[in-house]
Amino acid sequence: MPLSRRRTLTQYLIEQRRRFPGASGELNALILDVSIAFKAISRAVAFGELGDAAGNSISAEGGRVNVQGEVQKKLDVISNQMFVATAEWSGHLAGMASEEMEHPYQIPPTYSRGKYLLVFDPLDGSSNIDVNVSVGSIFSILRAPPDVVESGRDVTEADFLQPGATQVAAGYALYGPVTMLVLTVGNGVVGFTLDPNLGEFKVTHPQITVPPDTREFAINTSNSRFWEPPVKRYVDECLAGSTGPRGKDFNMRWIASLVAEAHRILMRGGVFMYPRDTKDPAKPGRLRLLYEANPIGFIMEQAGGRASTGRQPVLGVKPSTLHQRIGFVFGSKNEVERIERYHHDPATREAANPLFVERSLFRD
């Protein structure tokens, strides 16, 4: 399709709003605000070591440790500020929460408050900035509880603790060779590419779907000694290739950037695993439920894939804390369901993996 005839993000959102004649348009306006933050972050990422307007390197460490216990990059802080600045003023939000902020962000009293909550990871994969690997931003939109909307009170952590199935919209931006926005408003998944000449996101991937089968998986094998038996079983079967129980060869990928991993799977299928393991018993997983697993899970499910903890659908998990971590498995539906079956199989769950046992592989 000629570039001039491609729909813009604004046009797409107007079309979606027509499905709900009584809609106020506030959700559309909020998503457009988020897209402005994406454009600003994309520009900041593109400068890299050339730095900001003052010549400061944006890939340098910011010197502070966030609530996750991770040392912030300067661009983590800048990206968080860009999200807040573009979304707080419009009157559509009751509050915000972010990976980089320990507590919920209150909308200043100088601005009106609205009926939505915004949660986000302002710069996913920022540890990859130094090596020029694609990074991204992730967001999720929830409805604020009725009493928050009616009273206009300050939001609390409890207001954000909603299962992923209640999300109104979710999406991510990928800052790669081109900047893309992938979005769902509960009616499938659409991909937009930023036209640098016009500064507009335009539809380039009108109906993204994840194939149900795949020959590609992604996992950090350096953690293999900490994996639970079901995960070991699945990976070993993939590595056994065409001569193993799966009867086909698999490729393994690992980027260590959630947005880049999700985007690859949306474009060509695959399965991603960052499962619960025994490396740190205090952490039931590595990824954060509210602003990483839930929005990516919503996108995957809307694209025909599956998103899981390995044991249950991730969108059904009731969050317990704002920065809760969780095991996360997503991608091609049939592969994720297989991993879930392995977790529920008593023989796999309780026994050591046969490949690591000193007796025959073919023992009873």
Query: Do 236 and 120 belong together in one domain?
Result: no
Query: Do 263 and 296 belong together in one domain?
Result: yes
Q: How many CB atoms lie within 10 A of CB 315?
A: 18
Query: Is the per-residue pLDDT at 64 higher than 50?
Result: yes
Q: For 265-312, write each residue's pLDDT tens digit.
A: 999 999 999 999 999 888 889 999 999 999 999 999 999 999 999 999
Average pLDDT value for residue range 33-44: 96
Query: Do 199 and 51 belong together in one domain?
Result: yes
Tokens matching residue 199? 């500064």
Cα torsion 53, 54, 55, 56: sign: negative
Output 108 or 359, whichever has higher pLDDT.
Answer: 108
Does residue 346 sit within a domain?
Answer: yes
Contact 74, 60 (CB under 8 A): yes
The CATH number of whichever domain residue 346 belongs to comes to: 3.40.190.80
Does residue 326 sit within a domain?
Answer: yes
Q: For 100-134, write each residue's pLDDT tens digit.
A: 999 999 999 999 999 999 999 999 988 887 788 89
Q: For 73-105, write each residue's pLDDT tens digit.
A: 789 999 999 999 999 999 999 999 999 999 999
- Average predicted confidence (pLDDT) for the chain: 90
pTM of the model: 0.91
Tokens matching residue 36? 């402005």
Tokens matching residue 206? 């009108």
Range of the domain at 132: 3-205
Residues 6 or more apart whose CB falls under 8 angstroms from that of 115 comprise 26, 92, 94, 143, 144, 149
Does residue 361 sit within a domain?
Answer: no
Tokens matching residue 79? 């990206």
Query: Do 309 and 262 belong together in one domain?
Result: yes
Does residue 362 sit within a domain?
Answer: no
Query: Do 297 and 189 belong together in one domain?
Result: no
Domain boundary among 154, 178, 205: 205
Query: Do 128 and 238 belong together in one domain?
Result: no
* d(C-alpha 63, C-alpha 78), whole Å: 13
Does residue 298 sit within a domain?
Answer: yes
Query: Do 142 and 254 belong together in one domain?
Result: no
Tokens matching residue 96? 């915000």
Q: For 203-212, write each residue's pLDDT tens digit.
A: 999 999 999 9
**In the chain, how many domains are there?**
2
Q: How many CB atoms lie within 10 A of CB 320?
A: 8
Query: Do 68 and 111 belong together in one domain?
Result: yes
3-state SS string over the chain? CCHHHCCEHHHHHHHHHCCCCCCCCHHHHHHHHHHHHHHHHHHHHHHHHHCCCCCCCCCCEEEEECCCCCEEEHHHHHHHHHHHHHHCCCCCEEEEEECCCCCCEECCCCCCCCCEEEEEEEEECHHHHHHCCCEEEEEEEEECCHHHHHHCCCCCHHHHCCCHHHCCEEEEEEECCCEEEEEECCCCCEEEEEECCCCEEEEEECCCCCCCCCCEEECCHHHHHHECHHHHHHHHHHHHHHHCCCCCCCEEECCCCHHHHHHHHHHHCCEEEECCECCCCCCCCCEEHHHHHHHHHHHHHHCCCEEECCCCEHHHCCCCCCCCEECEEEECHHHHHHHHHHHHCHHHHHCCCHHHCCCCCCCC
Predicted pLDDT of residue 187 = 95
Does residue 124 sit within a domain?
Answer: yes
Beta bridge partners of 124: 136
Query: Do 246 and 130 belong together in one domain?
Result: no
User: For 158-172, 174-188, 343-357, which range has the lowest pLDDT when averaged over its residues?
Assistant: 343-357
Beta bridge partners of 191: 182, 205
Report which residue type is found at 52: D
Query: Do 169 and 126 belong together in one domain?
Result: yes
Tokens matching residue 64? 């502070």
Query: Do 192 and 220 belong together in one domain?
Result: no
Domain boundary among 205, 237, 270: 205
% of the chain residues with pLDDT over 70: 88
Does residue 363 sit within a domain?
Answer: no
Place of tokens 């023992």: 363
The CATH number of whichever domain residue 27 belongs to comes to: 3.30.540.10
Domain boundary among 152, 173, 205: 205
Does residue 211 sit within a domain?
Answer: no
Query: Do 29 and 171 belong together in one domain?
Result: yes
Average pLDDT value for residue range 2-7: 72
CA 179-297-136 angle, 5° bins: 25
Q: For 321-350, write each residue's pLDDT tens digit.
A: 999 999 999 999 999 999 999 999 988 766
